Structure 1
Amino acid sequence: MADQAGTPRARYREHNRAEIKRIALEQLAERGPSALSLSAIAKRMGFSGPALYRYFASRDELLTELITAAYGDLAGRITETADAVLWCAPRERLRILADAFRQWAVAEPHRYQLLAGTPVPGYSAPPHTVAAAREVLGPFLAVFHRLQQDGPSPRYEGPDRQFQQWIGADRAARDWVRHRTTTAGGGGSGNSGGEGGDGEPDPARQAAALRATVTAWTRMHGLVSLELQGSFHGMSFDPALLYAAEIDALADQA
């Protein structure tokens, strides 16, 4: 029978689980995700190897919990930021959201690399982590959709046509895009301003906004990863300014 919440046994179990995750994060910071070792964690805690498996059935289960928690923290930061700047102009909201993304990554480099760095050999993330990643990008999708309101409706050409096909073929993606682009307002919790208030949004704008969101993710990740790897060391410029310029370019393209 499972331990009842709040009992000494349950508190002991949660304490040990938290300690395992804390030591795992230290391993990530020191040697990267591929070096994560349950046996090393067990030795550090004075446990036998089999004893640790009472808390996490495998390395992959521990990795999944760390990844889910990291996505949750990053999504929380982005959503909180989006809600705080709800009434800013869309372009300024995009700048602030992108800066929040970079600040979290710079403050939590080992956790960011766990989400977006080199894949861990032999590890396959479960489907629910895809939904967690979408929570990070949701406010960006809302802002890019809002930016689309200021211009003529885009035509289905090139990549926008492919993104519209993606929306049509993938129900989870379709529901996510619909949630982020159909509620009036533009907030971080899924509001972005529909066509004419709460009306049905233009599918072409949805596709263009999704394409812009994915493009923003690739560019933000590229620059942040280079910065965290130290690739800009020795260059006479500020990576933060380059990052800001790239975000402005994305807004122009949108």
Structure 2
Amino acid sequence: MPDATAAAGAAAAGQRAAPGGQRPARRGRLPSVAEADIRRVARKLLTEAGPEAMTLRAIARELGVTAPALYRHYASHEELTDALRTEICLDLAERLAAEAAEVPGEDGLLQLFAICRGFRRWALAHANEFTLVFASPHRARTDGPRPYEEPFGRVFLAAAGRLLTGYDPALPAAESVPAGVRDDLIRYRGELLAMLAGTGEHFPADKLGLGLTYLMITLWARLYGHVTLEVFGNYPLPVRDPDALFDAVLADLARDFGIGDGFAG
């Protein structure tokens, strides 16, 4: 019996001590995984196979862990998805700001259109990332922009501010704005001004009336709609020169601002 007891004790000691004298991880302890690695693998799955491939189980499998290990950093798949959207928008905002910076001088209109062209090029080259951020179902919006929208939105708004400073656009009268959306636009105007405060750009707030806010919303809808149709191949007819068509859309947007003569293409 003493020999058996000693053997059992030795076996237990062997279980507690790992090779090299290190103690092994306790049973049930989840392996450590870095937050940045989770996003890196999630983005890899997204770009290679689309949003549907970006499941927690698939991410965990790529990292060599189990799905519960991911919950240390993200409480849900939606939280991880929002974090990835933020990362993508930060990268996109940096890219678009660089596009605007390459425009000679301080022409706000040309900078805004450089951003529009850059957005289109990015969307066509990164269709799966575009889908996740701009073309997938979201939770209902609460007050204010979603956090991941702000970096991207500030780049556009900064260029719009320079446009309004350098030009005297013809803006819709407040009474021409549909009554059913006025309260929403008034609230959104406040959101835009708060977002612009973070750009460091001087924005003529007195110009951001109800008419301009409405114009900005409708112009974004047209730009976004055009890019979405192109990304998903849903043009209603074959287009041999999509670049020319997009430039024509930008020229139309300039005319809607009442500054079409200043658009050089």
Query: CA offsets, 1:223-243, max 9 Å, x none?
Result: 221222123498142222211
Post-superposition offset of 1:47:
0.7
Aligned residue number for residue 68 of structure 2:
50
Give 1:19's aligned residue.
37
State how 1:1-254 maps to structure 2 within 5 Å.
16-85=34-103, 87-119=105-137, 127-146=146-165, 149-151=168-170, 154-159=172-177, 165-166=183-184, 168-170=186-188, 171-176=190-195, 179=197, 190-191=201-202, 194=204, 201-203=205-207, 206-232=209-235, 235-254=238-257
Q: Provide the identity percentage.
A: 26
Contact 2:108 2:166 survives alignment (8 Å): yes
Give a deviation string over 1:81-123, Cα, whole Å, max 9, x none.
3344362544433322211111222232221111111216x79
Structure number with the bigger relative contact order (C-alpha 8 A, sep ≥ 6) is 1
User: Given the superposition, is the C-alpha separation of residues 131 and 224 from structure 1 closer, same or farther in structure 2, using an over 3 Å criterion?
Assistant: same
C-alpha distance after superposition, 1:14-62 (max 9, x if no partner): 7x43332222123323443244211121122221222232243321221
- Residues in 2 aligned to 1:162 and 1:176: alpha-carbon distance in whole angstroms: 24
Answer whether contact 2:123 2:130 (CA < 8 A) is retained: yes
Q: Measured at CA, do residues 150 and 232 of structure 1 come closer, stay the same or move farther in structure 2, by a change above 3 Å? A: closer
* C-alpha RMSD of matched pairs (Å): 3.5
The CA distance in 2 between the partners of 1:208 and 1:77, in whole Å, is 30
How many Å separate the matches in 2 of 1:162 and 1:88?
37
Could you tell me how far apart the structure 2 residues matched to 1:157 and 1:20 are?
Answer: 50
Q: After TM superposition, where is structure 1 displaced by more than 6 Å over at least 4 residues in a row?
A: 122-126, 160-164
TM-score (norm 2): 0.68
Whole-Å separation in 1 of the counterparts to 2:174 and 2:239: 42
Instruction: Give the counterpart letter for 1:134 in structure 2.
Output: G
The structure-2 alpha-carbon separation of the partners of 1:44 and 1:202, relative to structure 1 and needing over 3 Å to count, comes to closer
Greater Rg over alpha carbons, structure = 2
Contact 1:220 1:243 (C-alpha < 8 Å) held by counterparts: no
Task: Give the 3 Å change call, closer, same or farther, for CA 134–95 of structure 1 in structure 2.
Answer: closer
1:128 aligned counterpart, secondary structure? coil
CA distance, structure 2, for counterparts of residue 175 and residue 21 of structure 1: 29
Give the count of matched residue pairs.
224
Deviation at 1:132, TM superposition (A): 3.5
Q: Residues of 2 paired with 1:233 and 1:45: CA distance?
A: 43
Give the letter for the 2:39 counterpart.
K
Assess if the C-alpha contact under 8 Å between 1:94 and 1:140 holds in 2: yes
Q: Do the aligned partners of 2:96 and 2:115 also contact (CA within 8 Å) in 1?
A: yes
Distance 1:124 1:47 in 2: 34
Distance 2:99 2:202 in 1: 14
Structure 2's unaligned 5+ residue stretches are 1-30, 258-265
